[in-house]
Structure 1
């Protein structure tokens, strides 16, 4: 498939009630392992890619390193690749679009794009975030790529008290609808695990909803029944792999 075909195929995988499952990767080696396991598409996780290079999350990883990581994956794996691009390393619409263009140029067909102010506090106002999404969509259309913008809201991830999540749903729905109108392709609500709230957002969202697996989240079958269109694993695979590496190394060194 060429890049345009990959982008179309990736978008088609997002089906309400029959979600695409993305076991997040962080380099070409893990991309190959997940592809060989039967994945239909690939997606990086920002936390994992940063940690694999020795950096904390939050756009601390140099953007050039992230772009080269994407290039190394698309060079060896013929599956659609979505890149977790956090806030696109820019607060302004034009800068965000120009930075996303660098990923398009190395073969990526989608991004996660969050509304958290990475180097500040809270979330962008809806008007500012929609302007950023709109600029990215216009850039992608200029390149004739049906680029998948997975518009993420951090409303739930930022609130650790799960009992308060119900009070955030209406704002989340409002943001999701606004992001859709601006050119978003999917709506990502990491941190949300309550089945009734997930179902409510899926029913109200004009975009396929992405849920991130975490402790307490419904399983894959249950999420599909709730109407989810995409399921991802975030930093979970990296943490699991690193824990296994530490255990294996400790077992060896303990014998010395």
Structure 2
């Protein structure tokens, strides 16, 4: 039974988010960080909205990787979820908690924002290393239990940073990542996210070995969406890519006006009417 504070609409969005993960026809997520970026991405045709932890951290004046606190991350998620009528999934780093119980509390609070998906990673930002597998598994299980208690079929995207952190010898990493993925699926993960896994042969091998949808991180020079689809990928994320583009535009325009007193970099941007129109 769904708790009263969670609407039927939220459960519908949760199921939609699950359904959008189709191997070979990937869900493409141009990750956002505020209400305006969420609206712009929705209008561009996105079927779902995802935050990127780095982008949200930067816009709130904090570094990524443990610099942001749970309250502000969830408040920003709530603003984004209220701005769009699409499923929203939030990147909450390692859950903004030191314990599995705390991760469960984070997920309970996340669902209260209206979001229906979460990314949880297995890196310990304090040490720069992976969490011990048993601890990481316990945190995934706690997140799933919290969602079940709330009556929402949360899309739990479990991220492993085996490749991102360069754990072990290069030839060992695929096997290590698969082992972690299998443990996370057994604990209740809906999908697996492996940033820095981008070599086509390795992606194909990982997809074949893991029984749930696989998410990769895309960036300039990475295989195209069509190529990733051909490898069986079910989700492609741009991560902080859009925020970096936006902030680079700010930097260019600011440098121009202070260096030369001209405004050329302001040409071609969105006008007031267009921006105001996002919120009418």
Question: 1:193–1:216: 8 Å Cα contact kept in structure 2?
Answer: no
Matched residue SS, 1:239 = helix
- CA, structure 1 residues 185+90, in 2 after alignment: closer, same or farther (shift >3 Å)? same
2:159 to 152, 171, 193: 152
Pairing 1:92–2:99 present: yes
Runs of 4+ in 1 over 3 A off after TM superposition: none
Name the TM-score, length of structure 2 as normaliser.
Answer: 0.87
Matched residue SS, 2:126 = coil
Pairing 1:189–2:200 present: no
* Residue number in structure 1 paired with 2:42: 35
Pairing 1:14–2:4 present: no
**Alignment RMSD (CA, Å):** 1.5
In 1: Cα distance, 2:36 partner to 2:105 partner: 28
* Residue number in structure 1 paired with 2:238: 233
Matched residue SS, 2:131 = coil
Unaligned 5+ residue runs, structure 1? none
* Residue number in structure 2 paired with 1:210: 215
Alpha-carbon offset, residue 160 of structure 1:
9.4
* Residue number in structure 1 paired with 2:266: none
Matched residue SS, 1:202 = helix
Larger Rg: 1 or 2? 2
Pairing 1:179–2:184 present: yes
Question: 2:95–2:103: 8 Å Cα contact kept in structure 1?
Answer: yes
* Residue number in structure 2 paired with 1:71: 78
Equivalent residues, number? 254
Alpha-carbon offset, residue 253 of structure 1:
2.7
Pairing 1:51–2:58 present: yes
Alpha-carbon offset, residue 112 of structure 1:
0.7
Question: 2:167–2:173: 8 Å Cα contact kept in structure 1?
Answer: no
Unaligned 5+ residue runs, structure 2? 1-7, 262-280
In 2: Cα distance, 1:215 partner to 1:80 partner: 26
